[in-house]
Amino acid sequence: MSALGRLIDAPFEAVQRAIGAARMPYVFVAPNLLVFGIFVAAPMILNVWYAVTGGIQLMPGERPYVGASNFAELLDCDTFGVIASCRQDRFWRAVANTAWFVAFQVVGLVAVSLVTALILNRRMPWRGFFRAVFFYPVLLSPVVVALIWKWVLQPDGVLNALIVAGGGARVPFLLDPSWAFSWTVVISIWAHMGFYTLILLAGLQAIPADLYEAAEMDGTAHGRVFWRITLPLLMPNMVVVLVLGLIRAVQSFDEIFVLTGGGPGTATQYIVQYIYETAFANQTHILGLAAAASILVGGVLMVLTLLQLAATAWSKGGGVGR
Amino acid sequence: MKSILRRAVLAGAALLLPAFAHATDVRIMWYNDGNEGEVMRDLLDRFEKANPDIKVILDQVPYKAINETLPQLVSSGQAPDMARITDLGGQADYYLDLAPLLKDRGYWDKNFASVLPWTRPAGNTSGIFSLPTQVTVTMPIVNETLFQQAGIALPGPKATWQEWATAARAVAAKTGAAIPIAMDRSGHRVAGPAISMGAKYFDGDTPVLVDDGLKAMAKLIYDWHRDGTMSKQIWGSVGGTAYRGANEEFANGQVVLYFSGNWQFPQFAKTIGDAFDWHGVNTPCGPAGCTGMPGGAHLVAYKTTKNPQAVARVLDYIASEAVYEEYHARTLFLTAHAGLMAKGIAYRTEMPQVKKSLAAAAANAAALSPTAYKLQGYLRNRIMFNALIVRLNQAIAGEMSLDDAFARMTSDFADGLKAAGVR
């Protein structure tokens, strides 16, 4: 054993002698548990306390208990489905925006990632280079992504300069609600597709080549090969991409906040931004309301995670392509 | 040899130890509109030289950190010793009363009487909680070069908002300027023009956000966004309560009339210089007057400071007439100091644009409405400002009608007061 090994070994041997070998696993996981406890578990417990207390005080001990009234305020609507009838209309607007964003972003993300993975899986010149190019945006900070796109899309930006040079009129890409929403979807897909493409590429490379050879010998059409071989065997990876993409889409905040600030109006204000603004950005920091909203979002994410587990188990059990 | 070495070590220790052992740190969280951080650092260097027992650390941060991070630090007991703030009454309960610590409170009462109430907690009528570092008045700044190019005369000192809008639109049409009128995206900026249109903001002592005057100004802003007088580029490019200035657009020559405030002068002196003829003008009028809003930045100390005596010494130094005058002369800020106002400050600038602007700012400051002062002194005014900006912006974006926006402003304000524990 090296000198370093002996140095590390000595204290652990002493601990093992003191507590016994059976309890040693707890010693090894203790540092991780400590970090998890301080930075994840404790804030979660505190968040629950904030959700059931009122006032604007930051210190937990100074906050009066209000029961479920923060949840009641969030859910207080004369007519569900009519945002204007809700007391916290900005919360519901953020929920609706998030739902639309998730629907478009996730479908787009899975489709674009799949097509890209299929292309990058083919033999082609510069394949390594292109794989790196598609992964590159994932390495960028969300703030950098937002600033790059702001530079492209603002009224005097690159895209409008090209349109004007081509004889067209400026387009208010970030000032018109529909355009701004669409661009947040596109940019989010652009920024994250590299990661999901990689997962799908790994799945494609794991499909045995002899299946394709057999199909080729049988003269099977390309479309049929895709639907009957590629897609079913890729389904476990597709499920992972779908659910991870879904969870990430619900959590979207940083790049969109820098790009549009939630505007114009509230067209691109998603749920995490609502929580952030309610808790921190306004003069009156309504921490209880923000904590209650975050618990509701947490509940939705929990359901999505359970769906992921169920879907993964289903696809592993051969649920697809039978 | 050994003895020489020992003496050298002892001498070195004697030189270094006082610096490490006795200096009291005073930490200030500070943001900049122009060059004031640089000027303040220079003045504090002189203070440290004369007071080696105090070291002043000037943490220069973005304005956003003052608005969003500082309140969290203060609420959690982690406040710096001092901070330069603009939400003057927002966290008044946490400010340190400096009155018993200052060398000569009579000097402060005499010279800062008009603005000291703005940082007093509710019910307090005599404490001294801050030193003003800048007096501001919201007001318009024009690009006169564009007017000259268009061959259109600047509207006169009593011109109405509508007359200014008509002139600005005509100038923009003739010169191709992109934005006839720009206004910072801030409820504080809307308040002055709203008071000019008749907004009262108070019914007796009860704060009331929405009335006919506010509706009239909000309608003008709404209509101007529809007809292109105001560009959605400013108000529409962010959401929520976020502040958005149009200083960059103005400096780029894209704006005919920019409604902001005198704190922009030092910045424009630097970024625009004499590239075009810009200067402040009289605030446009409405049926109830021609007012902007007073405001400013104050330096406050927090109760959590461990060095209240050192903090008071730093503030006494900055407030002393000679230092205070130099600070204002170099930063080109208006002053709240009654003595200096009477005496006049010899601003260190040769730029005619700045001189003209400072004269206009002084005239606008003298014409401020009592309602504007009352609103500025109201501790919860930010709740009003935020409700206005969020909902008016939603109406401009087409998400709700103006009437719905007014109803939401009223309920948001009531909810904000309730959350803040105000009954």
Cβ-based contacts under 8 A for chains A and B = 111
Map tokens 């005058």 to a residue.
B325
Distances B116 to B124, B244, B296 between C-alpha atoms, Å: 11, 28, 12
pLDDT value of residue A320: 47
- Distance, in angstroms, between A109 CA and closest chain B CA? 26
**Residues of A whose CB is below 8 A from B399:** 93, 177, 265-267
Separation between Cα atoms, residue B130 and residue B109, nearest integer Å: 12
Task: Determine the residue type at B49.
Answer: K
Neighbouring C-alpha atoms within 13 Å toward the C-beta of B28: 25
Using CA atoms of B60, B63, B69, B70 in order, give the dihedral in degrees to the nearest 10: 70
Hey, of A57, A282, A286, which one would you mutate to test binding to chain B, going by the most B CBs within 10 A of its CB?
A282
User: Do residue B419 and residue A265 have CB atoms under 8 angstroms apart?
Assistant: no
**Residues of A whose CB is below 8 A from B396:** 264-265
Cβ within 8 Å of residue B121, ≥6 positions away:
B92, B93, B95, B127, B129, B379
Separation between Cα atoms, residue B232 and residue B245, nearest integer Å: 12
Is A45-316 in CATH node 1.10.3720.10?
Answer: yes
Of A175, A280, A282, the CB nearest to B236: A175
* CB-count exposure of residue A54 (10 Å: 0-12, 13-18, 19+): buried
Rounded (5°) CA angle B8-B9-B11: 65
Residue A84 is classified by DSSP as: G
Hey, of B91, B93, B226, B237, which one would you mutate to test binding to chain A, going by the most A CBs within 10 A of its CB?
B237
User: Do residue A262 and residue B239 have CB atoms under 8 angstroms apart?
Assistant: yes
Of B75, B239, B408, the CB nearest to A268: B239
User: What 3-state class would DSSP assign to B202?
Assistant: strand
The H or E element that residue A217 is part of is: helix A209-218
Give chain A's mean pLDDT.
91
Q: Chain B: residue nearest A274 by CA?
A: B240
Map tokens 């200067």 to a residue.
B279
Rounded (5°) CA angle B399-B403-B405: 50
User: Do residue A264 and residue B416 have CB atoms under 8 angstroms apart?
Assistant: no
Of A93, A280, A283, the CB nearest to B72: A280
pLDDT value of residue B22: 63
Separation between Cα atoms, residue A262 and residue A274, nearest integer Å: 9
Which CATH number is associated with domain B137-294+359-419? 3.40.190.10
Task: Determine the residue type at A105.
Answer: Q
Bridge-based pairing state of the strands B54-60 and B24-30: parallel
Percent of chain A with pLDDT over 70: 97
**Residues of B whose CB is below 8 A from A269:** 239-240
User: Do residue B419 and residue A286 have CB atoms under 8 angstroms apart?
Assistant: yes
Cβ-contact A227, A215 below 8 angstroms: no
Using CA atoms of A286, A287, A293, A295 in order, give the dihedral in degrees to the nearest 10: -170
User: What 3-state class would DSSP assign to B108?
Assistant: helix
* CB-count exposure of residue A210 (10 Å: 0-12, 13-18, 19+): exposed
User: Do residue A264 and residue B237 have CB atoms under 8 angstroms apart?
Assistant: yes
User: Do residue B421 and residue A55 have CB atoms under 8 angstroms apart?
Assistant: yes
Separation between Cα atoms, residue A283 and residue B395, nearest integer Å: 22
Task: Determine the residue type at B12.
Answer: G
pLDDT value of residue A283: 67
Structure tokens at B295: 């405001």
Separation between Cα atoms, residue A284 and residue A278, nearest integer Å: 8
pLDDT value of residue A4: 81
Separation between Cα atoms, residue A232 and residue A225, nearest integer Å: 10
**Residues of B whose CB is below 8 A from A285:** 71-72, 75
> What's the rounded mean pLDDT across residues A97-107?
96
Cβ-contact B264, B188 below 8 angstroms: no
Of A260, A280, A284, the CB nearest to B420: A284
Separation between Cα atoms, residue B72 and residue A309, nearest integer Å: 38
- Distance, in angstroms, between B110 CA and closest chain A CA? 32
Residue B185 is classified by DSSP as: B
Q: What is the ipTM of this complex?
A: 0.80
Residues written for chain B: 423
- Distance, in angstroms, between B186 CA and closest chain A CA? 13
User: Do residue B242 and residue A174 have CB atoms under 8 angstroms apart?
Assistant: no
Of B75, B241, B399, the CB nearest to A282: B241
> What's the rounded mean pLDDT across residues A291-305?
90
Residue B112 has phi, psi (to 5 degrees) of: -120, 20
Distances B313 to B44, B104, B132, B320 between C-alpha atoms, Å: 12, 11, 16, 11
Of A55, A265, A289, the CB nearest to B239: A265
Residue B134 has phi, psi (to 5 degrees) of: -170, 130
Q: Where in chain B is the domain with CATH 3.40.190.10?
A: 2-135+296-343, 137-294+359-419
User: Do residue A264 and residue B397 have CB atoms under 8 angstroms apart?
Assistant: yes
Separation between Cα atoms, residue A241 and residue A106, nearest integer Å: 9
User: Do residue A263 and residue B68 have CB atoms under 8 angstroms apart?
Assistant: no
* Bridge partners, B136 (sequence order): B295
Distances B257 to B143, B164, B170, B251 between C-alpha atoms, Å: 7, 8, 12, 11
Hey, of B222, B232, B379, B406, which one would you mutate to test binding to chain A, going by the most A CBs within 10 A of its CB?
B232
Q: Chain A: residue nearest B391 by CA?
A: A265
Separation between Cα atoms, residue B217 and residue B230, nearest integer Å: 13
**Residues of B whose CB is below 8 A from A286:** 419
**Residues of A whose CB is below 8 A from B408:** 89
pLDDT band at A316 (very low <50, low <70, confident <90, very high): low
Bridge-based pairing state of the strands B130-143 and B294-301: antiparallel
Separation between Cα atoms, residue B257 and residue B169, nearest integer Å: 10
User: Do residue A281 and residue B236 have CB atoms under 8 angstroms apart?
Assistant: no
Of B386, B390, B394, the CB nearest to A283: B386
Residue B60 is classified by DSSP as: E
Cβ-contact B208, B414 below 8 angstroms: no
pLDDT value of residue A122: 87
Cβ-contact B353, B181 below 8 angstroms: no
Cβ-contact B353, B268 below 8 angstroms: yes
pLDDT band at A141 (very low <50, low <70, confident <90, very high): very high
pLDDT value of residue A243: 86
Cβ-contact B246, B255 below 8 angstroms: yes
Separation between Cα atoms, residue A227 and residue B224, nearest integer Å: 56
Residues B2-135+296-343: name the CATH superfamily.
Periplasmic binding protein-like II (3.40.190.10)
Residues written for chain A: 322
Q: Chain B: residue nearest A60 by CA?
A: B76
Q: Chain B: residue nearest A57 by CA?
A: B75
Q: Chain B: residue nearest A88 by CA?
A: B412
Cβ within 8 Å of residue B382, ≥6 positions away:
A283, B87, B90, B187
User: Do residue B233 and residue A84 have CB atoms under 8 angstroms apart?
Assistant: no
* Bridge partners, B302 (sequence order): B95
Burial B59-90 (b: 16+ CB within 10 A, else e): ebbeeeebbbebbebbbeeebbbbbbbbbbbb
Question: Quick count: other Cβ atoms within 10 Å of Cβ B417?
Answer: 16
Hey, of A97, A170, A283, which one would you mutate to test binding to chain B, going by the most B CBs within 10 A of its CB?
A283
Cβ within 8 Å of residue A232, ≥6 positions away:
A320, A321
Separation between Cα atoms, residue B340 and residue B354, nearest integer Å: 19
Alpha-carbon A199 to chain mean position:
15
User: Do residue A174 and residue B237 have CB atoms under 8 angstroms apart?
Assistant: yes
User: Do residue A262 and residue B238 have CB atoms under 8 angstroms apart?
Assistant: yes
Q: Could you give the maximum distance between any two Cα atoms of chain A, in Å?
A: 82
pLDDT band at A322 (very low <50, low <70, confident <90, very high): very low
* CB-count exposure of residue A294 (10 Å: 0-12, 13-18, 19+): buried
Residue B279 has phi, psi (to 5 degrees) of: -170, 160
Residue B84 is classified by DSSP as: E
| Dihedral-angle region of residue B151 (phi above 0 means left; psi in -120 to 50 means alpha; beta otherwise) | left
Separation between Cα atoms, residue B181 and residue A160, nearest integer Å: 22
Using CA atoms of A68, A73, A78, A83 in order, give the dihedral in degrees to the nearest 10: -130
Closest CA to A273 of A296, A246, A293, A295: A293
Question: Quick count: other Cβ atoms within 10 Å of Cβ B303?
Answer: 13
Alpha-carbon B330 to chain mean position:
17
Give, for all 423 residues of chain B, the pLDDT tens digit. Answer: 555 556 655 555 555 554 445 689 999 999 998 899 999 999 999 999 999 999 999 999 998 899 888 988 998 889 999 999 998 888 899 999 999 999 999 999 999 998 899 899 988 999 999 999 999 999 999 999 999 999 999 999 999 999 999 999 999 999 999 999 999 999 999 999 999 999 999 999 899 999 999 999 999 999 999 999 999 989 988 888 888 999 999 999 999 999 999 999 988 998 999 999 999 999 999 999 999 999 989 999 999 999 999 999 999 999 999 999 999 999 999 999 999 988 989 999 889 999 999 999 999 998 999 999 999 988 889 899 999 999 999 999 999 999 999 999 999 999 888 888 776
Alpha-carbon A278 to chain mean position:
21
**Residues of B whose CB is below 8 A from A57:** 75
